[in-house]
Amino acid sequence: MQLTHEENQFERKTFPITLVCDHIYFQQNIGSLFRISEAFGVENIIFLGKDIPLTPRKINKTSRSTHLHVPYTIIEKTAGLVDFLLQNNFEIIALEIASNSKPLKEVVIPDNKKIALLIGSEIDGISDELLKISNQIVHINMFGKNSSMNVVQAASIALYEITSF
User: Per residue in 91-142, pLDDT tens?
Assistant: 999 999 999 999 999 999 999 999 999 999 989 999 999 999 999 999 999 9
Domain contains 38? yes
- Asked if residue 9 belongs to a domain, the reply is no
Q: How far is CA 164 from the centre of its chain?
A: 15
In a domain, residue 10? The reply is no
Asked if residue 148 has pLDDT above 90, the reply is: no
For residue 34, pLDDT beyond 90: yes
Show the domain range for 101.
15-163
| Cβ neighbours, 10 Å, residue 98 | 15
Q: Please give the model's pTM, rounded to 2 decimal places.
A: 0.93
Edge-first strand order for the sheet with 91-95 is: 72-75, 42-48, 15-22, 115-119, 91-95, 136-139, 102-103
153: confidence class by pLDDT, cuts 50, 70, 90: very high
How many domains are there within the chain?
1
Q: Is residue 8 part of a domain?
A: no
Q: What angle do CA 95, 99, 102 make, to 5 degrees?
A: 50
Query: Could you give the percent of the chain with pLDDT greater than 70?
Result: 99
Residue 99 domain flag? yes
Q: What is the pLDDT of residues 63-92, one digit of tens each?
A: 888 888 899 999 999 999 999 999 999 999
Identify the helix (H) or strand (E) that includes residue 152: helix 151-163
**Residue 5 forms part of a structural domain:** no
Cβ–Cβ < 8 Å for 22, 77? no
CATH number of the domain to which 27 belongs: 3.40.1280.10
DSSP character at residue 110: -
Q: How many residues does the chain have?
A: 165
Do the domain assignments include residue 88?
yes
62 falls within a domain = yes
CA distance 98 to 139: 8
